[in-house]
């Protein structure tokens, strides 16, 4: 018996091709609110371990953070990962506008910025090594300024005559510049675009630099 042409027939093709979409994982609203409150109230980036501890065993921290980040998309402040933890930061497009009214309390000199750049890309290193890479002497005032800002800190001593102090950057440095880890620093080409006056040895040792002298040596011996 043939089917009645006036009777609607089931769409077999669509019924076969369509597969049920798995439901998205649900995140407890109280978890998102707890993360929001903890990150907002903290004076420094909150470590992941602490956030996970707040949510309790079995909670999906990454999913909750993703929901929180989506909730603040396009807002004036956004949650970001920095210095091994999470913090709220002004949206990138609003930073230049606010900078006009909220100038930093202390403007760093060019020599101070150059010194900080050398330490950041070559740490740990001593004052003598910093001066050699920068190609200029570094005053004690520069170290005092960077230490007062908590951008650098001593990290032991090099086992050489005189046992000079080794200097490294801090979590406060990462937090200030919005870096999750020191490996997130830009490469040397971007550093040169800033116009920092680094000496040739400093540029040659930056990530991505090409050791031209080393490549030429084998040919000279041949």
Mean pLDDT of 25-54: 86
Question: Do 88 and 130 have their domain in common?
Answer: no
Question: Do 115 and 200 have their domain in common?
Answer: yes
Which of the pair, 122 or 107, is modelled with greater confidence? Answer: 122
pLDDT digits (tens, 9 = 90+) for 165-209: 999 999 888 888 778 888 887 765 555 555 555 556 555 555 445
- Residue 208 burial class via C-beta count within 10 angstroms: exposed 0-12, middle 13-18, buried 19 and up: exposed
Question: Do 88 and 116 have their domain in common?
Answer: no
Maximum mean pLDDT: which of 40-44, 61-65, 99-103, 105-109:
61-65
Domain range for 63 is 29-94
Q: What is the CATH number of the domain that holds 143?
A: 1.10.10.10
Question: Do 121 and 48 have their domain in common?
Answer: no
Which of the pair, 190 or 213, is modelled with greater confidence? Answer: 190
The pLDDT value recorded for residue 108 is 79
- For residue 100, report the phi and psi dihedrals to the nearest 5 degrees: -70, -30
The answer for residues whose C-beta is within 8 angstroms of residue 112's C-beta and 6 or more apart is: 142, 145, 146
Question: Do 85 and 135 have their domain in common?
Answer: no
The pLDDT value recorded for residue 100 is 54
pTM above 0.75, yes or no: no
pLDDT digits (tens, 9 = 90+) for 151-175: 999 998 888 888 899 999 998 888 8
Question: Do 152 and 69 have their domain in common?
Answer: no
Are the C-beta atoms of residues 40 and 46 closer than 8 Å to each other? no
C-alpha distances in angstroms, 52 versus 65, 67, 127, 190?
11, 15, 40, 36
The answer for residues whose C-beta is within 8 angstroms of residue 38's C-beta and 6 or more apart is: 46, 50, 51, 54
User: Considering the domain boundaries, does residue 185 fall inside one?
Assistant: yes
Question: Do 81 and 171 have their domain in common?
Answer: no
Q: In the chain, how many domains are there?
A: 2
Q: Is the pLDDT of residue 51 over 60?
A: yes
User: Considering the domain boundaries, does residue 16 fall inside one?
Assistant: no
């Amino acid at each position: 018996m043939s089917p009645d042409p006036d009777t609607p027939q089931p769409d077999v093709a669509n019924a076969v091709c369509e597969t049920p979409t798995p439901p998205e994982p649900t995140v407890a609203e109280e978890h998102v609110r707890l993360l929001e409150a903890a990150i907002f109230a903290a004076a420094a980036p909150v470590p992941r371990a602490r956030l996970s501890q707040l949510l309790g065993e079995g909670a999906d921290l990454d999913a909750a953070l993703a929901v929180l980040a989506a909730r603040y998309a396009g807002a004036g402040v956004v949650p970001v990962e920095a210095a091994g933890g999470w913090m709220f930061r002004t949206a990138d497009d609003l930073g230049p506008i606010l900078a006009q009214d909220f100038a930093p309390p202390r403007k760093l000199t060019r020599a101070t910025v150059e010194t900080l750049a050398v330490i950041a890309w070559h740490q740990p290193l001593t004052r003598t090594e910093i001066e050699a890479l920068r190609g200029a002497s570094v005053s004690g005032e520069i170290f005092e300024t960077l230490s007062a800002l908590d951008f650098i800190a001593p990290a032991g001593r090099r086992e050489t005559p005189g046992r000079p102090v080794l200097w490294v950057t801090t979590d406060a440095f990462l937090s200030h510049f919005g870096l999750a880890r020191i490996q997130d620093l830009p490469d040397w080409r971007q550093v040169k675009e800033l116009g920092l006056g680094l000496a040739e040895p400093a540029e040659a040792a930056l990530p991505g630099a090409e050791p031209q002298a080393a490549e030429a040596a084998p040919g000279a011996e041949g």
